[in-house]
Structure 1
Amino acid sequence: MFELFFYAVPTLMIAGLGYAAFLLLRRARRIGRTWTHGLTAEGRCLRMFTTTSGGGGDTSVRTTLHHVYEFTTHEGRTVRFEEEDGPATVVEGDFVTVRYLPEQPQRATARPPAPARLAVGTGFGVAFLGVAMTFCVGFIVLAHAMFSESAGLLP
């Protein structure tokens, strides 16, 4: 029963890491599609704010910049959306070019197209998650070998 812990925890971690990789790839695909196939509209930055995360002290603190934008679609619908990690040069009241897919205008982006940067960032993210999954698989293999040896199953 105790051995189950050494199999279940890494397996759950692998599932979580796999889901994170799926979300990362889905996000990159959506943004890339918006850049290449999306419509453009003039938007306006309504609000800019920051949030912090992390414990401080010995733990690093991460500050995230948020922008709230509003634009009108080609059909005349007003859409407001929030975007993280936008350019610090955009402040409240600035006009920006917004790109959106007609079927999902609430998932618009005001980031200028940068497909190479998106690909590199996504690649590094997926590679990091893959290394973490490989570590979990190695841990399971090592735990299996240790439990098999202690049970006398290995010569």
Structure 2
Amino acid sequence: MGGGFTVLVWVLVAFFVWGGVATVRRYRQRQAAWESGLTARARVVRAWVTAQAVNNTVRRIQWHEYDYTTHDGRAVRFKESGGPRDRGQGEEVLVYYAAHEPDKATASAPQPGKDLAGTVFVLIMLVVGAAVLLSQWASLSGV
């Protein structure tokens, strides 16, 4: 196989690794926010939906942007995906945050088991995808 194909394979593997790192990072941020015991009332500043096409299927992703003030008086604004579709601009919600990363807050109620299961599922899919890609590359290139 040509050098360009090999480069593409490794770029895709790097994408899988980046996805895994980002997934674990967000999982750890949410856990830290839930375990900190710090909460605040936040206001929904903006709500919107993005569309993502995967295998000719459109997937809608709900986004919200929140404003809140930490217990020590810092104003914080953050964005989060995956919230309820009926949550609208101006609505007040409870957010969980860690003192060392208030901009990595979450408006999701604590569900550590569900969050862990989702994280593990995503990681398994990324590993399987990378393994299939590398095995196909190896068989096509004769490695």
Same fold by TM-score greater than 0.5: yes
- Structure 1 stretches of 5 or more lacking a match? 149-155
What's the CA shift for 1:38?
A: 4.8
Share of identical aligned residues, percent?
A: 30
2:134 — aligned with what?
137
Asked if the contact 2:29/2:105 (under 8 Å) is kept, the reply is no
- Asked if 1:32 is matched to 2:31, the reply is yes
- Asked if 1:13 is matched to 2:12, the reply is yes
**Secondary structure of the equivalent of 2:43?**
strand
Q: What do you get for the CA RMSD once the two structures are aligned?
A: 2.2
2:90 — aligned with what?
93
Q: How many residues align?
A: 143
- Asked if 1:107 is matched to 2:98, the reply is no
CA distance in 2, matches of 1:6, 1:72: 50
User: In 2 relative to 1, CA 6–77 (structure 1 residues): closer, same or farther, beyond 3 Å?
Assistant: closer
**Secondary structure of the equivalent of 1:61?**
strand
1:48-107 CA-to-partner distances (Å, cap 9, x unmatched) read 22233449xx93222222222211111112222222111234333322111111122122
What's the CA shift for 1:126?
A: 0.7
> Larger Cα Rg: Structure 1 or Structure 2?
1
CA distance in 2, matches of 1:43, 1:102: 16
2:49 — aligned with what?
50
CA distance in 2, matches of 1:134, 1:80: 39
Structure with more of its chain in strand, by fraction: 2
Q: Compute the TM-score of the two structures, normalised by the length of structure 2.
A: 0.85
**Secondary structure of the equivalent of 1:30?**
helix
Asked if the contact 1:38/1:102 (under 8 Å) is kept, the reply is no
What's the CA shift for 1:39?
A: 1.2
- Structure 2 stretches of 5 or more lacking a match? none
Q: Compute the TM-score of the two structures, normalised by the length of structure 1.
A: 0.79
